[in-house]
Amino acid sequence: MNTPLKPQQTSLPRWLHWLPFGPVPAMTAEQLALALNHYLIIDVRTPQEYQKSHIPGAISLPLHRLNHARISHLPSDKPVICICLSAHRSKPATRRFIKAGFDAKELQGGMLAWWKRELPLES
């Protein structure tokens, strides 16, 4: 007599949530440029990358320092846009914010897309 197999849990190990694979919600550089003041912009690049140039109003919060305690101290009245150089580090950061209850997206193409369109910068 065959007994039905129970489905296995498919939840990912915690460390896999930090991998830059798989889609997350995103917006284009043009869309963000038109609505900068409506978003909390989190730049997850290194402090050195951030200092060279960043999107006006962006907060530097490097991916390796992104944890629940730091996220919980951020304002939650605006949706979050996570930014990195090429939209690889921003994927796990976006997932982390979504898991913390934020409405979060990444900048599609990262700073490379922003620079290519010659959008505003601070340094």
111: DSSP letter:
H
Question: Can you read off the two tokens belonging to residue 51?
Answer: 């200092």
User: Catalytic: 84?
Assistant: yes
**Measuring CA to CA, how many Å separate 92 from each of 48, 52, 59, 89?**
20, 23, 17, 6
Question: Can you read off the two tokens belonging to residue 66?
Answer: 């992104």
| Residue of 84, 87, 93, 107 marked catalytic | 84
**Which positions are catalytic?**
84
